[in-house]
């Protein structure tokens, strides 16, 4: 399960920015909670970032993974080493499109399960 979610907008120099037109990256920080029953080892975390209009931010049509017997798009993925203890991590979306203002949603998946959903706002 994912907790302690936080989104920070960064500029090209990886510095925090509140200037809408300077956003180059979305930094999604999160914690995967301690779970003594989960298998340990290498895991792939998939994140789907959904825009205010409902479209998923993705770099290409081939960025899909299996969830509930179908292929769904993801925005970004990251391989992590999970040892059953709290794992603090961050994943980054490189902004290459014009961002919409409004409420976004970040859904986290691992091992075929939805492990967390969070909303964040981007405003001018």
CB 111 within 8 A of CB 32: no
Tens digits of per-residue pLDDT, 19-75?
A: 999 999 999 999 999 988 888 999 999 999 999 999 999 999 899 999 999 999 999
Task: Look at residues 91, 73, 81 and name the one whose alpha carbon lies nearest to residue 6.
Answer: 91
The β-bridge partners of 8 are 27
Is the model's pLDDT at 104 over the cut of 90?
A: yes
Q: What's the whole-number mean pLDDT along residues 98-118?
A: 96
Band of pLDDT at residue 16, cut at 50, 70 and 90: very high
């Amino acid at each position: 399960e994912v907790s302690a979610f936080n989104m920070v907008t960064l500029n090209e120099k990886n510095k925090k920015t509140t200037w809408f037109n300077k956003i180059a990256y979305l930094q999604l920080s999160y914690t995967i909670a301690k779970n003594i029953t989960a298998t340990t080892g290498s895991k792939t975390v998939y994140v789907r970032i959904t825009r205010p209009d409902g479209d998923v931010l993705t770099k290409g049509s081939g960025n899909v993974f299996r969830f509930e017997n179908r292929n769904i798009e993801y925005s970004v993925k990251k391989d992590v080493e999970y040892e059953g203890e709290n794992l603090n991590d961050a994943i980054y979306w490189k902004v290459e499109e014009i961002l919409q203002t409004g409420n976004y949603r970040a859904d986290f998946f691992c091992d075929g399960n939805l492990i967390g959903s969070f909303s964040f706002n981007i405003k001018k």
